[in-house]
Structure 1
Amino acid sequence: MSKGTVLITGINGYIAGTTALAFLKAGYSVRGTARSLPSAGPLLSALSEYSDRLSVVQVPDITAPDAFDKAVRGVSFIAHLASPIAAAFTDVAEVMTAAVSGSLRVLESAAKEPGVRHLVFMSSLAAVRGSDGYEPGRVYTYTEKDWNVTSEAEVERVGAQAGFPVYEASKTAAERAVWKWKEENKPTFSINAVNPIFVAGPPLVIPTSADAIPNTITSIWAIFAGAPLKESALSHLLPGMLDSYVDVRDVARMIVWGVEHPEEADGERYILASCYGPSQSMADILREKYPDRAGIIQKGQPGEGYVLGYGFPEDGESYDSGKARRATGQDWIPWEKTVVDTAESLKGLL
């Protein structure tokens, strides 16, 4: 017997695929949305053993009025994960509209379906960083009380040339819109947000080419394939961001937890950030695990730039994820396992 049906928007995404598997393993039925049905084909194949409890509906435009009305019929829970994810944009208005209006359309459709009990909103640590409490060069620990107050102003000032702040602004604006809608409409269902940092870990759908590897695990892949360490770092590609991560399986677990603890989670945000894992740490882990590739994986300066246990730097910014750990009574997947499992999932591309 199913525990009820969960709607996962953008189900063919990296995080969403692992989330779908987590819900299916937990005994739920899953209905996903995708812009086109063929795009969900690889996911359906990967989850074929659960075909009796898994379906996908097409939602070509998440910003359209009543976009999710059909998708929400009969569901008890919603995980809204669909959102623009690229790091560089050319049309700022399109990105902001997709993030904000898409979230509001889900909420509006959910409000029409009396069976909906809880909604988990996929936000980001991008909506937390850049608060008015942080000053560059100052030691600061972000908590769920912090809000990004810089990115939207930066995007307003320079437009698409702002680069990654466009993404940060879209996530901040979308999450604020969700909480404002909740306050104004007082829905019968509860809502919580999860705010992960860079997400790593093995993808459910194995990429068929290096170009198809999810953005946030490209560093692990690049180092595994032998690329220079500095050029492989996400912090190098996205200046101002730390090399901090959480495992995709932990993100999925927290989304399931929100659905299963709606009263406790209602109105709450949860930072998901487990470790500081710069490129050197990835190289050290991979060189130890794969000694046969020691001549390919760059050596760098072993042990340099991070501490034992991969804790956040003490002389800069860090993230307090204790709220999520206390709520679930469970710690994060170790960084070594995240790196090795990711490499294992991609080694067929070597």
Structure 2
Amino acid sequence: MAGDLVLLTGSTGFLGYIILTELLKHGYRVRAAVRSQTKAKRVLAGPSIKALAPTDEQLSFVTVPDMTAPGAYDDAVQGVTYIIHSASPIPSFGDGEPPAQDQLEESLVKQALKGALGMLESAHAKAGGSVRRVVMTSSTVAVVPFEVYMGQGTEPDRVWTSEDRIPVAPGPYGFEFQAYSAGKAAVLNASEEFVRTRGTAFDIVSITPSWIFGRDELVTDAGGMRAGSTNSVLLGVVLGVKNDAPYGGNAVYGPDVAKAHVLSLDPVVKGNQSFVLNSMMDWEDAIAIAKKYYPDAFAAGKLREDGKQPTMALKWDASKAKRQLGLELAPFDTMVKEVVGQYLELLAAEEGSK
């Protein structure tokens, strides 16, 4: 409840930063685990955090240089009532060199498992029973077989739900997204097993979103928006990127995902369950949406109409989040307007500084 202390991981990432602002708006005290104080300063420089101007009592930082090391969170969990674990290795999305193929399992599966299970172990064994709930950031790729995303074994009429579970696909993995999917499934399955078998004082809630889009305040230049996060994939559609492989046609607004994490802390919400968050969309609709809001950018050649991104339709039942959390999900229109708008703002600022 408001005023309780929440340990948050991943606050230096796209989603984690939005969760942090949402926690502060709801009156929680936050202890953010970061790899370094340099990263903490980056968070404090974010516009929303600066506007909220939290005191040291409201927002503090704990340095955890290696979140996969044994006992990494032993000190961080002291006195904590809730934990939100949003930190996890993600695909590179064009930002730098991806891991070598023979390192995919270590980078995106084993590291994700070590971080999540290490967190749960610390909460169970070192927090003195203070932790009441752990909210984990999962993904829809954790509950749908990877082959479905590759267009194999699809069931057009099937409706996927938050209760679906899949076995972890074994390695070796051919590319990042395949390993990332396996890592998400491994963490979801193992974390639920941990709570079932270890007699923990806390329960667990998993938030299971699809593609997450929205303003990223930690990105401060246009180039940073073109690589490094899910936003870069959406932006590519209106920048003329052409891709022949279909992507799942489901998306969710970043602030909605953050709200789901924070609302799930409420003891009124039943524990040991998960919530799917997504809405149906067509990737190439982003072009018409962007043109509606930013026609001048197309005329000036800053945006393009020839992007290609086929859509694979996957049906989901996300109604539980609305029923239990009271969450109304924003439409794809909102996501496109915000992401493209931020990109054009940054581009204009760079052009104006020349």
Using the size of structure 1 for normalisation, the TM-score is 0.85
Give secondary structure in 1 for the equivalent of 2:90.
coil
Residue matched to 1:254: 260
| Runs (5+) with no aligned partner, structure 1 | 307-312
Residue matched to 2:116: 103
Note if contact 1:80-1:103 (Cα within 8 Å) is conserved in structure 2: yes
- How far apart, in 2, do the equivalents of 1:329 and 1:106 lie? 29
Query: Which residue type is aligned with residue 64 of structure 1?
Result: A
Residue matched to 1:285: 289
Give secondary structure in 2 for the equivalent of 1:96.
helix
- How far apart, in 1, do the equivalents of 2:71 and 2:342 lie? 38
Residue matched to 2:62: 57
Query: Which residue type is aligned with residue 331 of structure 1?
Result: E
Residue matched to 1:5: 5
Query: Which residue type is aligned with residue 89 of structure 1?
Result: P
Shift of 1:344: 2.4
> For 1:142, which of 127, 148, 160 is the aligned residue?
160
Moved more, 328-337 or 89-98: 89-98
C-alpha change, 1:118 and 1:290, in structure 2 (3 Å) is same
Shift of 1:131: 8.0
Note if contact 2:213-2:230 (Cα within 8 Å) is conserved in structure 1: yes
Note if contact 1:81-1:121 (Cα within 8 Å) is conserved in structure 2: yes
The correspondence of residues 1-350 of structure 1 with structure 2, limited to 5 A, is 3-46=3-46, 47-48=49-50, 49-52=53-56, 53-86=58-91, 88-90=98-100, 91=103, 92-111=105-124, 112-113=126-127, 114-130=129-145, 135-136=153-154, 138-149=156-167, 152-153=169-170, 156=171, 159-211=172-224, 213-224=227-238, 227-228=239-240, 230-231=242-243, 239=245, 241-260=247-266, 262=267, 264-278=269-283, 280-295=284-299, 296=301, 297-300=303-306, 316-350=313-347
Give secondary structure in 2 for the equivalent of 1:32.
strand
Moved more, 335-344 or 67-76: 335-344
Note if contact 1:207-1:346 (Cα within 8 Å) is conserved in structure 2: no
Shift of 1:240: 5.4
C-alpha change, 1:253 and 1:59, in structure 2 (3 Å) is same
Shift of 1:291: 2.0
Q: Which has the higher helix share?
A: 1
Cα shift readout 1:312-344 (whole Å, capped 9, x = no counterpart): x7xx52221111111122310122112112222
- How far apart, in 2, do the equivalents of 1:266 and 1:132 lie? 30
Note if contact 1:127-1:169 (Cα within 8 Å) is conserved in structure 2: yes
- How far apart, in 1, do the equivalents of 2:55 and 2:261 lie? 21
- How far apart, in 2, do the equivalents of 1:183 and 1:163 lie? 30
Using the size of structure 2 for normalisation, the TM-score is 0.84
- How far apart, in 1, do the equivalents of 2:141 and 2:323 lie? 22
- How far apart, in 2, do the equivalents of 1:136 and 1:89 lie? 29
| Aligned positions, number | 326
Note if contact 1:3-1:28 (Cα within 8 Å) is conserved in structure 2: yes
Note if contact 1:202-1:345 (Cα within 8 Å) is conserved in structure 2: yes
Shift of 1:245: 0.7
Shift of 1:13: 0.8
Give secondary structure in 2 for the equivalent of 1:20.
helix
| Runs (5+) with no aligned partner, structure 2 | 93-97, 348-354
- How far apart, in 2, do the equivalents of 1:132 and 1:187 lie? 34
Shift of 1:104: 0.9
Cα shift readout 1:28-80 (whole Å, capped 9, x = no counterpart): 11111122221232211121312431122111111211110111112211000
C-alpha change, 1:119 and 1:283, in structure 2 (3 Å) is same
Aligned-residue Cα RMSD (Å) equals 2.6
- How far apart, in 2, do the equivalents of 1:347 and 1:317 lie? 31
| Percent of residue pairs bearing the same amino acid type | 27
Note if contact 1:245-1:277 (Cα within 8 Å) is conserved in structure 2: no
Note if contact 1:14-1:214 (Cα within 8 Å) is conserved in structure 2: no
- How far apart, in 2, do the equivalents of 1:291 and 1:317 lie? 31
Query: Which residue type is aligned with residue 3 of structure 1?
Result: G
Moved more, 134-143 or 167-176: 134-143
C-alpha change, 1:181 and 1:89, in structure 2 (3 Å) is same
Note if contact 2:4-2:29 (Cα within 8 Å) is conserved in structure 1: yes
